[in-house]
Amino acid sequence: MHVDEAIRSRKSVRRFLPTPIPTSVVHHILDVAARAPSGNNVQPWRVYAVAGEARQRLCDAIVHAATHEADRHLPEYAYYPTTWVEPYLERRRRCGFGLYASLGIGRDDMAARERQMLRNYLFFDAPVGLIVTLDRRLNTGSFMDLGMFIENILIAARAQGLHTCAQAAFAWFHKVARTQLPIGDHEILACGIALGHEDLSAPENAFITERAEVDAFASFHGF
């Protein structure tokens, strides 16, 4: 798959088929992704790949925490702003409204919205889940390094004919993840990633977010 096609066809898939993914394929994706650049080549990331019973135990533990003690859990970094401004607020709204509309969930149907949110912690039924961490002893620049590494995972997965969903929602339940995985105290749980084959029959997977045109975010000087 040409890299342009891999990038353009990447999307957040929110329902996967149960088709198993061989360990060798997951290993290959991570091996390719590890070519991501990082300041002074520090490579500040770690990945915990889960499948089978290990995946189920992690999912069960987080779903239980999310439904019984959610107010006790907070992420170790601020992903979203405390105050939204434009154009980001409108983009966020269009994304949320579009997703729930594709699922037939009304704006006031909070129970259905909660059920959909909880599906994050099942990796949207993907057979493989990745938990990605960052070494907290580093600094803000390493978040840029981590972002490039995560993007490489998503694109390398497309090159294997697979799909993904990057999920910051897992960051809220880092304490639970630590009971299931050997995550060190010096690591920040940055996100999870669902990995598998797209369920083409799922209406939510037909929802594709738009992107701003180049002229809306870039200016050219001296060309």
pLDDT category, 8, cuts 50, 70, 90? very high
Higher-scoring residue by pLDDT: 70, 151? 151
- Residue 220 falls within a domain, yes or no? no
Q: Please report the sign of the dihedral spanned by the C-alpha atoms of residue 6, residue 141, residue 88, residue 115.
A: positive
In whole angstroms, give the CA distance from residue 48 to residue 42: 19
Q: What is the extent of the structural domain holding 12?
A: 3-80+121-202
CATH of residue 35's domain is 3.40.109.10
Q: What is the mean pLDDT of residues 125-146?
A: 97
Helices (H), 15-126: 23-33, 52-68, 88-102, 110-118
Number of domains composing the chain: 1
Domain membership flag for residue 182 = yes
45-38-168-164 Cα dihedral, nearest 10 degrees: -90
Q: Note the pLDDT of residue 70.
A: 87
Residue 152: closest CA among 132, 172, 168, 138: 132
Q: Please give the pLDDT value at position 123.
A: 98
38-87 confidence digits (pLDDT tens): 999 999 999 999 999 999 999 999 999 999 998 899 999 999 999 999 99
Q: Is residue 214 part of a domain?
A: no
**Does 63 map to a domain?**
yes
Percent of the chain with pLDDT over 70: 100
Residue 116 lies in a domain: no
Of 23-27, 69-73, 167-171, least confident by mean pLDDT is 69-73
pLDDT for 140 equals 95
φ, ψ of residue 163 in degrees (nearest 5):
-125, 170
**Whether residue 184 has pLDDT greater than 90:** yes
Query: Among the residues of the chain, which ranges form H helices?
Result: 3-9, 23-33, 52-68, 88-102, 110-118, 141-159, 174-180, 214-217
Predicted confidence at residue 52, as pLDDT, reads 98
Q: Are 183 and 131 in contact (CB under 8 A)?
A: yes
**Residue 119: predicted pLDDT:** 96
As a whole number of angstroms, the distance between CA 196 and CA 16 comes to 6
Read off the tokens for 91.
């983009």
User: Is residue 153 domain-resident?
Assistant: yes
Q: What is the pLDDT of residue 107?
A: 86
What is the structure's pLDDT at 199?
98
User: Does 129 reside within a domain?
Assistant: yes
Q: Tokens representing 39?
A: 């300041």
What would the mean pLDDT of 202-217 be, rounded to a whole number? 96
Look up the pTM and report it. Answer: 0.96
Among 120, 31, 15, residue whose Cα is nearest residue 67:
120
* pLDDT (0 to 100) of residue 190: 98
What is the pLDDT, as a whole number, of residue 5?
A: 97
Exposed / middle / buried, residue 116 (Cβ in 10 Å: 0-12, 13-18, 19+): middle
Residue 180 lies in a domain: yes
